Structure formats: C-alpha cells, structure tokens
C-alpha cells in the first residue's frame, strides 16, 4: 500500500507480566494525569476487550479502540495508530494478559509498530526479585522496544528504594502505592456509570503518578499509515436500530464506524429505559449484561410486539451473546430464578459461575460466500435449543470449541462478538444486504 504523510505523538504501551498486575489502573491513571496536564489523550486496548475500554474512555475523554494483529489486522492497526498520532498529543495502549502471552502477543504488536513498552509489576509481595523480573521482561526479546518499569502496590518509600536499586539498568519509571482497586464483576470491571466516585479514584491514582518519572513523556514517535481501503456503501439508505445501554454495552466503536462507512443510518435505543424500537430496516442487539437487568427488560411494554412485527416484515436481526440471551424464551440466573425473556428465539439460557468459553473465532453466516468475519467469544452462560446450528465458528487457537451459529427465520445469532471491520461486505450481509 502507498503511504500517507507521517504523524507523531507521545506513544506508550502499558504491559505487565500477567493479568491482575494493575495495568488498567495505571493506564487510566496516566490518561487522567496527562489530561490534567492539558494534553489530548487517546487510549487503545490490546485484544477484544469491551469493559476496560469503557473505563479507559472515561479517563481519556475519547472512545477507546481495540488493537489486535489477528482480530483487527496489521493494516487497520497501523492506520488507527497513525490517525491517533495525528489527532492526539498522547497515545496510550493497554496490553492484554501478560506481555508475551498469546499468539500474536502484545510483544508482537510492540515490535511490529515500534511501540515503547512500560512494564507494570505488582511488587506488593517481593523485594529484589523485582529486578530479576524487570530484567527478564526487558531482555526476553532482543527486538522489543522496552521503555521502562513501574512498580505497583508498593508499601512505601523504603520499599520503593529497594525495588529501584534491584532494577539496576532497567529504566526506572517510578512507583505507586496501594490504591483502592476499581470494582469488578464477572467479565471484568464495573461500568463507569456504576462507580459514583470514579473521578476521585482517578485523581488519587494520577496524584500518585504525578511526581514519578513516568509523568514526563519521552520524545514523540512518528507513525505512517497505509491508505485506507475503500468501503462500498452497501448499506446506503438502510436504517439500523442498535440497542445501547447498560444491558447492551459491548459495542466496538469500530463496528459503529464500519456500519456508517457502509452507508447505514444508526438509530440507538435503550431497552432498559423502555424506549420503543425505532423505525428501521435491521436490528443489531450487541452483548452486555441482560442477566443483570432481566426484570427490566422483560417489563418493556412493547419490545416483544415491536420485534415480532419487525420479523414479520422480513427484516433481519443480528444478535451477539447477551443480545441473543435477550431473545431467548427464558434465562436462568445464578440464584436459580427463571426469567421469561423476549421469546423470539426458541432457546433457554442459563447463567453459571464458571467461564463457559473464551477466545478469538471467525465465522461465515452468509450463503453468498461473502467471506469470514472475525470476532471473539467470552461468556458465563450456556444455551439449550432444538435449533440446528447452520455452522460453527473457527477458533483462532487449537483446543477450543467453535461457537454455534444460529438462524431462525430472520434472526441470526451467536455467542461470537463480531469485529465488523474485518470484512465490511460480509458484515453488510448480516444486516440483510446481498453482496
């Protein structure tokens, strides 16, 4: 591809040895700190996560996009990074899992685009071993653009000095004491609107970082992007109604941009607020937390009739994960109570304590060979139905099961959360357009 003009910004990838090290807290605190300094901040999240981006978006003041070499693809990752470097002063990227975990890993992303890596290490239960861990992260791959190390959950000044001395030649970027953790639930962090004192929590984290070396950014990095691939307006003139509220909050910002670039008019509505279904040609029911709002969703006075009329007019519905659960006949909650859901899909869903599935998958739900769409699955529920799947997702990694793909009349549904930008033409077909 030909190259656009280069753009530059202060760029930092925040990683860790493992999940639970505090990288989301640190990334959010840094975004808040740099915003307080008057900088324009853009945050990305590695991998297919939905929840961390919601909190990071609150902290940065800008929607958070996902970066992943498999799900998103190298060209689009490069394009988004270059656009962010053009439009923002600071670009922060939060890792997924540990720095070297997964195929491709966060380290692969860092090497591919020359992204400097800050390693956040939970030092709460260690002393000089901190230096060995820092050295290993910095030197495990010779081509990794390592920037420095930040100690988290430090007991105090004396502990911090011990850690700093152990790090030796690894770039010491400071330390943070034990701050109040951000609240979590199954699937991840609580939603920003569910944390009433979130701004105060972010202020406390930013204050802890303000006097550390990490508060001073390194030199800007130049990024060059390929020319964006043209997307044909296959959905021109089509109105797509999208459920969006606390029950249906797992929506990639890139999915909305993809639908708009395809020419669709997006019309949002809140089933929790009992808003009526907008006039539309297709419906998108994304994932989220229908299990936490089952009574409110069931009490919607018109949604069942609205959806029934929509389907009677031979108009499509695409439902992902939680959106699929809302369409089921029933949903059994963890306490054993059974909630009658909207009843458009002859299936029964059951919540469970343990994770049912996790991983990246691709799928093809169109009969016209429009090609595969890439996506991701992550759920704590199971589905029982007599509907015969029309196909299954193809797991990105060996050892996991492909998610079932269902068609019931004009409903298409799966546990897979689609990354629509991976194949805009096939995505248009999901919403009823032949390609």
The residues that are catalytic are 321
Distance CA 173, CA 214 (A): 5
Strand partners, 42: 91
Start-to-end Cα distance in the chain: 25
Distance CA 80, CA 64 (A): 11
Pairing of strands 373-379, 357-363: antiparallel
* Cβ(30)–Cβ(92) below 8 Å: yes
DSSP string, 207-256: HHHHTSGGGS----EEE--BPPPP---TTTT-EEEEE-BTTB-B--HHHH
Q: What is the DSSP letter of 102?
A: T
For the chain, counts of helices (H) and of strands (E): 12, 25
Distance CA 365, CA 60 (A): 36
173 membership: H or E segment, kind and range: strand 172-177
Distance CA 311, CA 293 (A): 24
* Cβ(108)–Cβ(143) below 8 Å: no
Helical segments of 88-142, H only: 106-113, 129-139
Assign 68 to helix, strand or coil: coil
Asked, as a colleague might, if the bond just before 104 is cis with ω within 30 of 0, I would say: yes
Task: Say which residues have a Cβ less than 8 Å from residue 266's Cβ, sequence separation at least 6.
Answer: 240, 242, 256, 259, 260
């Amino acid at each position: 591809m030909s190259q656009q003009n280069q753009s530059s910004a202060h760029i930092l990838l925040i990683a860790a040895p493992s999940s639970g090290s505090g990288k989301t807290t640190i990334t959010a605190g840094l975004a808040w700190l740099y915003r307080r300094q008057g900088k324009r901040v853009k945050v990305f999240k590695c991998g297919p996560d939905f929840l961390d981006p919601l909190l990071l978006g609150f902290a940065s003041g800008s929607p958070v996009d996902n970066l992943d070499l498999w799900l998103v693809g190298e060209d689009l990752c490069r394009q988004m990074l270059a656009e962010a470097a053009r439009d923002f002063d600071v670009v922060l990227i939060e890792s997924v899992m540990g720095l070297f975990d997964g195929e491709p890993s966060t380290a692969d992303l860092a090497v591919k685009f020359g992204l400097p890596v800050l390693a956040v290490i939970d030092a709460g239960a260690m002393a000089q071993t901190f230096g060995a861990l820092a050295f290993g992260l910095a030197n495990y791959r010779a081509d990794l653009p390592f920037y420095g190390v930040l100690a988290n959950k430090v007991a105090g000044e004396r502990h911090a000095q011990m850690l700093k001395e152990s790090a030796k030649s690894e770039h010491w970027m400071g330390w943070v004491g034990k701050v109040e953790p951000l609240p979590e639930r199954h699937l991840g962090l609580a939603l920003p609107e569910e944390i009433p004192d979130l701004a105060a929590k972010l202020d406390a984290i930013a204050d802890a970082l303000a006097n550390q070396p990490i508060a001073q950014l390194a030199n800007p990095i130049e990024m060059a992007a390929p020319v964006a691939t043209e997307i044909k307006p296959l959905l021109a003139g089509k109105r797509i109604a999208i459920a969006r509220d606390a029950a249906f909050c797992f929506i990639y910002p890139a999915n909305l941009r993809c639908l708009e670039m395809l020419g669709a008019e997006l019309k949002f509505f809140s089933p929790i607020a009992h808003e009526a279904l907008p006039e539309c040609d297709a419906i998108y029911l994304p994932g989220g937390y229908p299990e936490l709002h089952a009574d409110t969703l069931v009490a919607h006075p018109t949604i069942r009739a609205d959806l029934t009329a929509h389907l009677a007019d031979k108009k499509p519905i695409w439902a992902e994960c939680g959106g699929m659960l809302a369409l089921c006949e029933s949903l059994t909650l963890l306490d054993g109570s059974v909630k009658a859901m909207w009843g458009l899909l002859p299936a029964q869903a059951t919540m469970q304590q343990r994770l049912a599935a996790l991983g990246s998958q691709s799928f093809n739900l169109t009969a016209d060979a429009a090609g595969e769409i890439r996506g991701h699955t992550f759920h704590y529920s199971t589905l029982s139905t007599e509907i015969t799947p029309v196909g299954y997702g193809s797991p990105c990694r060996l050892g996991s099961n492909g998610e079932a793909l269902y068609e019931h009349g004009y409903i298409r549904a799966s546990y897979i959360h689609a990354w629509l930008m991976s194949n805009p033409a096939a995505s248009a077909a999901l919403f009823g357009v032949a390609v």
